[in-house]
Amino acid sequence: MGSDDLFKKRRKERKERKCEMLTPKANSCLIVTEGECTEPMYFEGIEREIRGKVGGRIDVENLPRIDIHGEGTATSHLLQATRLFVKKANIVYQNIWIVLDKDDFEDFDETLKAAEKEGYNVAWSNQCFEYWLFLHFRYSDAALHRNDWIRKLDEIFRRLGISDGKYHKNAADIYDIVNTYGSIDNAIKNAKARMKHYDRLCCKPSAYDPGTTVYELVEQLKKYLE
């Protein structure tokens, strides 16, 4: 085989390997979060539970692939960071989710629209992810500042004797805590009860306080646990 033929063969093999790497991966999910601590740790907890339950029943290569990437950036930059992460990924994700909070960001609604226009799913919370955590324990439709939701979690942790009686945003076991002392089913039920009054056609997410669509992402992940 001549050097030209060998070069063409190697180039063809590289292209084939690249195409193979970028083949859509069944049961794959990318979760990009605005926060660097609570949100990634919560979803990593679900991922661990999925792998623990599914791993003993099917081949490893058929496990749901769930990648969690905590970006730790403002909403306007989160979409850009997601695009970049997807572009650099070595697979085509079946599902891409962006997790973000309203907080005080003025570009919240615009970011949601842009993300959905690009085909990304969005799990949003108004005002904060702590509202979703609170729903694991009880229902509330009170429009509170994010600091108040943290204080409410402090009260619950103290009353139930969880950890040192305080909620910590960097708790690595936050999913296990809220699903043990509360429950993920409660959170889904409570979130649905709150969001049944939400009309996305005439109401901006930033105006629906409190509110959360995190349950939609959790329901998608939860199917692997049933």
Predicted model pTM:
0.84
First to last CA, the chain: 56
Per-residue pLDDT band at 160 (split at 50, 70, 90): very high
Q: State mean pLDDT over 51-57.
A: 64
Q: What residue type is 171 in one-letter code?
A: A
* pLDDT tens track for 59-114: 334 456 667 777 666 666 888 888 988 888 888 888 899 999 998 677 899 999 99
Query: Does 29 have pLDDT greater than 80?
Result: yes
Query: Does 162 have pLDDT greater than 90?
Result: yes
Q: With CA atoms as reference, report the closest residue to 137 among 183, 93, 176.
A: 183
Cα separation, 151 vs 155, in Å, equals: 6
* pLDDT tens track for 140-158: 999 999 999 999 999 999 9
* pLDDT tens track for 179-216: 999 999 999 999 999 999 898 777 899 999 999 999 99
Query: What pLDDT, on the 0 to 100 scale, is given for residue 5?
Result: 58
Query: Does 55 have pLDDT greater than 70?
Result: no
Q: Which residues contact 219 (CB under 8 A, 6 or more apart)?
A: 188
Q: Which residues contact 35 (CB under 8 A, 6 or more apart)?
A: 70, 72, 99, 101, 129, 169
